[in-house]
Chain A
């Protein structure tokens, strides 16, 4: 099905099932521990072997020798895979660094060997016996030190430099100006389930159970790396314990499991130990950002400029932190610049809302600072600079843009009028109290997605698509979509996901999964409805599907009967024309945060949070809310504690476990509210839905930062805002 023109009325608009806060259909499996994650498949696997990955002890250089003698003769050891004996390997396109390194080393903890043994403990013990000699070479590990030699680099389809009007003149002439720099640190996904895979070969055919967000990409990458046809690779990933972008691409566990299984002729299980995940896999790269805003005295932005510096391995990409600044606020004179330096830290890559999450961390503090300089309320300043068109191309409207309504609704619900605009004035016992606001913004991406649907003689509808559920609720919204389309209750829908034998979907990433994958199911269901109607001799356009029946005039046929013993099946997908070129599609929101800052210790604790989102039709308010409050939680982490600390001498992330890399715990997260504006976006797909899961994080950290400023009067521009950055300027304790 091609989607070229705005959606009109369709069966989804009935909203009998879609739009309802249905419980997760996979919930009971997860709460009872019976959902099988990648490491937990046992069927048809009488005696799997276990692989333990060895990582490089240096960040950059060469392996000059690996002594495997002791490890090989350790109890239970079946094989040791290294780049030396793995045979010729290709490299996938989606990752920068090789998944199996050696002799050249590209980053710390790059995998250099896999020890395979009968038990996990034997593999781990033998891995410690492997002796590796290296020659180190100098590397670049400090972004600030290489900033000035960074080069222009395009990212996410945008150019490296953008310019509209005359930024320099307009900024210089503006009566009110802000020129400030901000930094965001390297961050880790820190998802619950570490990367894990089981590989087994049947002749030249490979089956990989793995934890992966994008099945078809993974198949392609594995095939290319092993130099085998894609048809010979099957990826299975029905349940994923979180990914946040770190499982967009197959990782060393998948490749090494495949190589280990090939070397031993047995199924091989590999999980990355937690302390290994942080340097072995990808992370959100650090940024340095400079923002300049010039405005008239009445608060109209005349010039807005945003420059970004980030670093990555040779061949990697920048973070893309300026992208929202091209679209979020009006202003006739604009510029952005994206600069990338080479760094020899582990690979920087996508993490929840790549680009915008980091960009909004800086931009939304800058906007707060600018409002203060103007003596304006930060909400009003945002509203008078709102725009209904792409500020770079005014002929291009937004498909829907209700930022102002988000801000106003949130202000009312949160009690914004009680905020004292004078910072450092509100006290509650030992706490200095402040409120902060930030806009939320994230683009909505359209990408094709397919599904297969079957109807059987019990009236059960089975959906199969290689879409993944990374904890987001894909199973449930897909079941709701199929139930709505076929006129059956959700209990009559079976959803099967995450298998490369199924039609290729959008996968999960970039908050594109919800809208696109359900639109693909919609397309397949339209076909199935046609097949049902045709079989019954109904005019499919007029047939009504409801209550488990198909009806036309006074004829009513149960779906089970229509399917007959042979059943019916249909396969189709959604593909998009250029509707997203004509209309800018984005999602909007507003974040409100109240913090308390301990007057003595400067510990910042969040007291209340609210997000208001305008993100098209909300397919399931319950799963959507979970996405948004989870994102708000991650935003609190980004604001207050998350930082991969770089050892600039040895070139690695030092705090590489969950004791050292702190993410929020329950005690850090207070009452959270999420409100969704009642909205549909007919430009987005027949579902009229958009993404919410990444919108939820964009702007949160800045709202926390602005609240901390309002509480203390101390402006911190370097994340995370830890107490040591406030202490010096905190008022004396009496």
Chain B
């Protein structure tokens, strides 16, 4: 870990402005991801801006009938909120499928969205990794890639995004609210928030450097059966091999987003249209451009079977 300076920001605007002044600055929220990465010198910020003092820890109704979730709402509190459990069950379930109780007590909404990949080569600084060190190559290609992406990957990076929460947020069409370092606020639909790796896998979102997330808003509840199914090698405390967030209406229509398969939560509108026709039809379109590795090709069959189970559960 490199030494760094530290400050506690008092307002979102102050935090963003401070990030603008100090180019090597990072926000720190729960610290459950950032600190681990700093210890391994995968992240090497020169300055930390602690955002825990910003009053962004509330869940409030919006005028549109949705919910506005403060960036600092802890994963535990979000999962337990009665409104979330009633109207956005897929989100509550996704949160509870992630990490462990202790971690969820610390993890925040914004931190969870911005957690970094679990590619093992990203974590080992002796190995080449374009995401950690642009231009150094990708050790996962041709290496241990069982966990990696099957769709939307590039020649530069085949990592997945590990968040469960983000998959549910994607299915719910959430919006990310931010303050830019130069002052103005903006909203980013979650569909436009994450980027595919392309040639720049180190740039993971459409946030500007130093842009602060203040909240995530959920639109008006859409009802339906809300299911989150996470498939993994052990029963808890493991990242998804494949996960499915589904909202299924009585008539069989609905939405579905997948985790564990791509550099971002994977949702394809054309695939969703096939939901009444069953899992195979949906999977065909979800993975029309899939390019799995030898080690992770099983994820295609797994995703289709999991989708099938989820759709059956929604019917039953």
Contacts and interface: CB of A to CB of B under 8 A. Distances in A.
10 contacts: A121-B1, A125-B1, A125-B3, A430-B309, A600-B305, A650-B143, A667-B235, A668-B234, A723-B298, A733-B309
B236 interface: yes
Interface stretch (A316-324, A341-349, A639-647): A639-647
A263 B236 CA distance: 46
A672 to B, nearest CB: 15
Contacts of A730: 305
Contacts, number: 96
A722 B301 contact: no
Given A275-B123, A660-B120, A645 B144 contact: yes
B144 A724 contact: no
A603 B231 contact: yes
Interface in B1-37: 1-3
Interface in A214-256: none
A722 B233 contact: yes
Given A600-B308, A647-B143, A605 B298 contact: no
B10 to A, nearest CB: 28
Contacts of B120: 654-656, 660
Nearest to B310: A600
Q: Which residue among B144, B232, B236 has the maximum number of chain A CB atoms within 10 Å of its CB?
A: B144
A390 interface: no
Contacts of A640: 233-234
B143 A654 contact: yes
A445 interface: no
Nearest to A279: B124
Contacts of B234: 640-641, 662, 664-665, 667-668
Contacts of A668: 234-236
A733 B1 contact: no
A665 B237 contact: yes
A657 B123 contact: yes
A284 to B, nearest CB: 19
A275 B2 CA distance: 18
Secondary structure call for the B interface: loop
B231 A654 contact: no
Nearest to A604: B233
B40 interface: yes
Nearest to A600: B309
Contact of A641 (B124, B233, B312): B233
A128 interface: yes
A301 to B, nearest CB: 36
Interface residues of A, number: 40
Secondary structure call for the A interface: loop
Contacts of A645: 144, 146
A727 B3 CA distance: 48
The 6 closest A-B pairs by CB, nearest first: A600-B309, A667-B235, A724-B298, A667-B236, A57-B126, A654-B144
B45 to A, nearest CB: 14
A601 B233 contact: no
Interface of A: 57, 121, 124-125, 128, 275, 430, 598-603, 605, 640-641, 645, 647, 649-650, 654-657, 659-660, 662, 664-668, 722-724, 727-728, 730, 733-734
A641 B231 CA distance: 14
A560 B301 CA distance: 74
Nearest to A637: B234
B142 interface: yes
Contacts of A655: 120, 144
B50 interface: no
B312 A727 contact: no
A643 to B, nearest CB: 10
Given A649-B142, A660-B120, 20 more contacts: A128-B41, A430-B309, A601-B231, A601-B309, A603-B231, A605-B235, A640-B233, A640-B234, A641-B234, A645-B146, A654-B120, A662-B238, A664-B234, A665-B236, A666-B236, A668-B236, A723-B233, A724-B298, A727-B305, A733-B308
B237 A727 contact: no
B306 interface: yes
A727 B296 CA distance: 12
Given A275-B123, A656-B124, A662-B238, A727 B143 contact: no
Contact of A727 (B2, B39, B146, B301): B301
B295 to A, nearest CB: 9
A657 B41 CA distance: 16
Given A124-B1, A664-B234, A727-B298, A601 B305 contact: yes
A650 to B, nearest CB: 7
B229 to A, nearest CB: 8
A601 B302 contact: yes
A601 B279 CA distance: 13
A723 B231 contact: yes
B118 interface: yes
Contacts of A128: 2, 41
Nearest to B140: A654
B246 interface: no
A209 to B, nearest CB: 24
A341 B142 CA distance: 25
